[in-house]
Amino acid sequence: MTAFRHTWQVALRYIRALLRQPAWVGISLVQPVIWLLLFGALFKRTADIPGFSSGSYIEFLTPGVVVMLAVSSAGWVGMGFIEDINRGTMDRLLVSPIWRGALNLGSVAQSVLSIAIQSVIVVGLSLAVGAHFHNGVAGVAVLVAVAGLLGAVFASLSNGVAVLTRQRETLIGIVTMVTLPLTFLSSALMQQSLLPGWIRWVARCNPVNWAAEAGRSAAAAHADWGLIASRTSFLALLLLVSAAFATRAFNAYQRSI
């Protein structure tokens, strides 16, 4: 109960700070829309490739964009931690009896909330341009949940790296180096069976691909619930590990100051 209350307090703090930056809210709403329309237009002819099974590329692309935005938005979450550390806010929290896990989970909760809102906007726009989600609200809910789960993993990793390095530049470097390749080494933008063999092989151990597979299956005509369940549990397991890493990182921080 205390753990939940503390997590909520930390989340509330970050959510409030976000809502007070109207520019941020605007940008984060517009960005996924641009991605969807831009990628959708750029790769429109993909649907003509023999063996491409989806009706339109944009319908195929929507779950991919949702997964991409989850990774890219969660990756930057650690910047908030670096600011908190530089300002002294983190030290104030660390000398209080706050549950250590709440520091990461509260920030993760905020990140998941904004990912969910962005995802719903992308889905809405995709529907508006003629895409179909064959399993209705349930399918979309699974897609958003999977994106949130993936976002939570990356937000935790970002927080952990932030606490360990405490350097904006280092975090920017690591996030850029990790998120883009992981996105392209997955089926987010291209059907799995059309990927080169080696990418298909790498994608098997890529969490971004797990989320893309599960999210896309949930939106497809014949949802493979077994696959969705297995990919979701992989992600959940990874979340446990990454959240533990982010929380443990504070021990290293306290030894170094």
Partner 1 sequence: MKAIEASNLRKTYKGGVRALDGLSLEVETGSIFGLLGPNGAGKSTTVKILTTLSLADSGEARLAGLDVVRDAGRVRRSIGVVGQKAGLDPDATGRENLEMQAEIYGIRGGARRERVDELLERLGLAEAGGRLAKTYSGGMQRRLDVALGLVHRPKVLFLDEPTTGLDPEARTELWREIERLAREEEMTILLTTHYLEEADRLAARLVIVDRGRVVAEGSPDELKSDLRGDTVQVELVESSNGDAVGAVERLPGVSELTVDGRLLRARVDSGAAAIPSVISALEQGGLRVASATVARPSLDDVYLRHAGRSFQQADTDTKEAA
Q: Check if the beta carbon of residue 120 is closer than 8 Å to that of residue 141.
A: no
Q: Which is nearer to partner 1, 96 or 197 (CB)?
A: 96
* Per CB under 8 A, 87 contacts partner 1: yes
The alpha carbon dihedral of 129, 63, 156, 106 has a sign of positive
- Interacting stretch for partner 1, rule CB under 8 A, among 53-61, 91-99, 126-134, 153-161? 91-99
23 near partner 1, rule: CB under 8 A: no
Inter-axis angle of helices 136-165 and 225-256, to 10 degrees? Answer: 20
Class of residue 184 by CB neighbours under 10 A (exposed 0-12, middle 13-18, buried 19+): middle
Is residue 67 within 8 A of residue 188, CB to CB? The reply is: yes
Under rule CB under 8 A, residue 137 binds partner 1: no
Interaction between residue 167 and partner 1 (CB under 8 A): no
The 3-22 site mask, x for binding partner 1 (CB under 8 A), equals --xx--x--xx--xx--x--
- Count interface residues toward partner 1 (CB under 8 A): 24
The correct pick among 68, 93, 144, 189 for binding partner 1 (CB under 8 A) is 93
Nearest partner of 66 among 37, 40, 36, judged by Cα: 36
Q: Which of residues 175-234 bind partner 1 (CB under 8 A)?
A: none
Using CA atoms, how far apart are residues 70 and 127, in angstroms rounded to an integer? 19
Which residues lie near partner 1 (CB under 8 A)?
2, 5-6, 9, 12-13, 16-17, 20, 87-89, 91-98, 254-257
